[in-house]
Amino acid sequence: MNKIKVLIIGKNSLLSNCFKLKTSLRNVNYVNHKVINKIQFKKYTHIINFSVDPKIYKNNYNLINKIDLKICKKIRKLNSIYIFPSSRLVYSKSKKNIYGLNKKKIENDIIKIKKKFLILRIGNILTYDTSIRNLFISRLLRSLKSNSFVKLDISKNTYKDFITSDLFVKILDAMIKKNVVGKFNLSSNIQVKVIDIINQIIRGYGKGKVIMTKEIKRNDSFRLQNKKLKKIIKFKTSKKEILQYCFKLGRKLNA
């Protein structure tokens, strides 16, 4: 394959912003998904779609803008690698999990059309974001900044598989450099309690508290296996490192 040249579609998305800040790759272009009909795709070795139709969270798959399908049809005969950030929610068997079901259908579309693809089933990403996005970390930081408290509606024993945005980009960079293809869980494979994440951010912020709601949701703990990933990409992280990162997020919130 020729010299690596990456196209990022969805230049204002959260993952796009993370990638832009941390990537070690030099030849990267960022575009809005609305201009895909004008893109000269043959110039790129890797194409990543970070854009998401908001309808994906609540609507039937047939009602959403199938951006990935449209792109894959345009590049199906090219030698490029199509990279799709999927979700750990594709493993959920709940019929109420509309987002996960839609992500799985997008995965299936990509596999049918594009020979070379990289599908990444991602755990919970930790990064600095106080926007109106309906993401765990965004809601947490926003509430702490505005109200000096964080409401918790899950058991204190609930744990998740968290990965920092720094490590996410580092792994993705390495996969691009090695021209990796296939399906992978992109995770830390470390279980960290949600309450510990929140408390570390509060410690960094210097103030705030956790308020437990009266109604507690079902325990939705999870950890993603990443043995397949680690056979190809060598990386290390730890619970301590993840919590230190959360402390820094709190410090940044107080800046």
Residue ranges and CATH numbers for the domains of the chain are 1-122 (3.40.50.720), 124-162+188-224+237-255 (3.90.25)
User: Residue 1: which pLDDT band, with cuts at 50, 70 and 90?
Assistant: very low
pLDDT digits (tens, 9 = 90+) for 86-137: 999 999 988 889 999 999 999 999 999 999 999 999 999 999 999 999 899 9
- The tens digit of pLDDT for each residue in 231-246 reads 999 999 999 999 999 9
Distance, CA of 101 to CA of 94 (rounded, Å)? 9
Give the rounded percent of residues in the chain with a pLDDT score beyond 70. 99
pLDDT band at 48, cuts 50/70/90? very high
Least confident of 45-49, 61-65, 232-236: 61-65
Looking at every residue in the chain, the average pLDDT score rounds to 95
178 pLDDT exceeds 90?
yes
Secondary structure letter of residue 19 according to DSSP: H
DSSP H or E segment with residue 242 = helix 239-253
* pLDDT number for residue 79: 96
Decide if 144 contacts 253 (C-beta within 8 A). yes
CB 102 within 8 A of CB 61: yes
pLDDT in the model for residue 2? 66
Instruction: Measure the CA angle with vertex 248, ends 217 and 141; round to 5°.
Output: 40
- HEC string of 31-88 equals ECHHHHHHCCHHHCCEEEECCCCHHHHCCCHHHCCCHHHHHHHHHCCCCCEEEEEEEH
